[in-house]
Amino acid sequence: MDFVPDLAVDAPLWLALLTVGVNAAVGSLRASKEEARQWDIVGLTTFGLLMGLGGGFIRDFLIGNLPVESLRTPWYLVTVLGVILFVLVLGNVISRARLLVALLNALALGLFAITGTAYALREGLPVISSVFVGVVSAVGGGVLVSVMKDEVPGILLTSAPNALVALLVSVVYATVHVWDSRLAGVAAIVVAIATYGLARVLGIRTRRAVDASALLLTRTRSKR
């Protein structure tokens, strides 16, 4: 599969910027659409930066990859700031394109999980540690935004299983990577989009941890 780029170590710059930009848009929308608090431009920019770059920051700090990659080139910050401006102008239009946003969210979640896992493996960390780095990379930005907003991060409550999707993607990547790193990236992206989409369509959510049934991890609710 030499014709397929290795998404973990040789992802096209445009794809990396798309990943960061999608997360930045989600973070900015969380600020601009909240009615309970009136966030100003500083707040909206902060949430966009944290959501867009936070996962990568955490990943690079955990594996000692400093300075963090997103600060070694101006394009990541330029992309995030451009997306924030775009949200200010066309936020209502973006929020209505739910299917596209969901697809891009799945792609961003998968790519953060893949790169986190891959970078950790490349640094010689054990597989279980590398998977941990992948999951934290994928959900870290959202957690930082929730903390700044004085909210309990959604992944800690019964909710859409985004952290579990990131875990599955990281495990798939680490497993397939043993044979072929290029195939691993493709397989993990397919798993990310498929599982994220399936959870969204079927309304799958995590269970409340009151007994051993929480180990089943998800339950299905039919959407009507």
Q: Encode pLDDT of 111-169 as tens digits.
A: 899 989 999 998 999 999 999 999 999 999 999 999 988 889 988 888 888 999 999 99
DSSP tag of 135: H
Q: What is the pLDDT of residue 224?
A: 42
Asked if residue 3 has pLDDT above 80, the reply is no
> How many H helices and E strands in the chain?
7, 2
User: Who has greater pLDDT, 224 or 136?
Assistant: 136
Domain ranges of the chain: 13-219
Q: Is the separation of the CB atoms in 27 and 140 below 8 Å?
A: no
Output the pLDDT for position 55: 93
Q: What is the pLDDT of residues 43-90, one digit of tens each?
A: 999 999 999 999 999 999 999 989 999 999 999 999 999 999 998 888
Q: Which helix (H) or strand (E) holds 97?
A: none
DSSP secondary structure, 26-73, as one string: HHHHHHHT-SSS---HHHHHHHHHHHHHHHHHHHHHHHT--S-GGGSS
Residues 39, 47 contacting (CB under 8 angstroms) = yes
* Omega before residue 67 within 30° of 0, cis: yes
Determine which of 76-80, 94-98, 116-120, 220-224 has the lowest per-residue pLDDT on average.
220-224
pLDDT value at position 223? 44
The model scores a pTM over 0.85: yes
- The token duo for 163 is 């952290």
Residue 101 clears pLDDT 90, i.e. is over it: no
